[in-house]
Copies of this chain bind each other. A is one copy, B any other.
Amino acid sequence: MGSNDDKKSYKSPVYVHNPHLDKLKDDVLYHFNLGTATHDLPAIFGNVKFVCVGGSPWRMKSFIEYIAAELGLEDPKSEYPNICAGTDRYAMYKVGPVLSVSHGMGIPSISIMLHELIKLLHHAHCTDVTIFRIGTSGGIGLEPGTVVVTKQSVDATFLPKFEQVILGQTVVRSTDLDQGLTEELLQCSKELNQFETVIANTMCTMDFYEGQARLDGAFCSYSEKDKQDYLAKAYEAGVRNIEMESSVFAAMCKLSGLQAAVVCVTLLDRLKGDQLISSHEVLRSYQQRPQILVGDFIKKQLSAAGRT
Taking Cβ atoms with an 8 Å cutoff, the residues of A that contact B are 16-21, 24, 27-28, 30-31, 55-58, 88-89, 104-109, 111-112, 114-116, 118-119, 122, 156-158, 164-168, 205-211, 213, 215-222, 224, 226-227, 230, 233, 244, 252, 255-256, 275-277
Contact A114–B218 (Cβ < 8 Å): yes
The docked-state distance in angstroms from the alpha carbon of A119 to that of B219 is 9
Partner of A108, one of B208, B215, B219: B208
The docked-state distance in angstroms from the alpha carbon of A136 to that of B14 is 31
| A88: chain B residues within 8 A (beta carbon) | 56-58
Q: Could you list 19 further interchain pairs (A-B, Cβ under 8 angstroms) beyond the known A108-B109, A115-B209, A218-B252?
A: A17-B220, A18-B219, A28-B275, A57-B88, A104-B104, A105-B108, A106-B112, A115-B217, A115-B218, A156-B168, A157-B168, A158-B168, A164-B210, A164-B211, A165-B206, A165-B207, A167-B222, A167-B226, A218-B256
The docked-state distance in angstroms from the alpha carbon of A57 to that of B149 is 32
| A158: chain B residues within 8 A (beta carbon) | 168
Number of copies: 2
Contact A104–B105 (Cβ < 8 Å): yes
Q: Contacts A108-B244, A164-B207 known; A16 to B230 CB distance under 8 Å? A: no
A161 to chain B, nearest CB (A): 14
Contact B19–A213 (Cβ < 8 Å): no
The docked-state distance in angstroms from the alpha carbon of A88 to that of B205 is 21
Contact B220–A20 (Cβ < 8 Å): yes
Q: Contacts A88-B57, A244-B108 known; A20 to B215 CB distance under 8 Å? A: yes
A266 to chain B, nearest CB (A): 15
Contact A105–B115 (Cβ < 8 Å): no
Contact B209–A112 (Cβ < 8 Å): yes
The docked-state distance in angstroms from the alpha carbon of A220 to that of B256 is 12
Contact A230–B106 (Cβ < 8 Å): no
| A108: chain B residues within 8 A (beta carbon) | 105-109, 205-208, 211, 244
The docked-state distance in angstroms from the alpha carbon of A108 to that of B233 is 23
| A118: chain B residues within 8 A (beta carbon) | 218
| A28: chain B residues within 8 A (beta carbon) | 275-277
Contact A122–B226 (Cβ < 8 Å): no
Q: Contacts A19-B220, A88-B56, A167-B226 known; A112 to B105 CB distance under 8 Å? A: yes
| A207: chain B residues within 8 A (beta carbon) | 108, 111-112, 164-165
A228 to chain B, nearest CB (A): 11
Contact B167–A230 (Cβ < 8 Å): yes
The docked-state distance in angstroms from the alpha carbon of A116 to that of B207 is 12
A109 to chain B, nearest CB (A): 5
The docked-state distance in angstroms from the alpha carbon of A215 to that of B17 is 11
Closest to A206 in B: B108
| A27: chain B residues within 8 A (beta carbon) | 216, 275
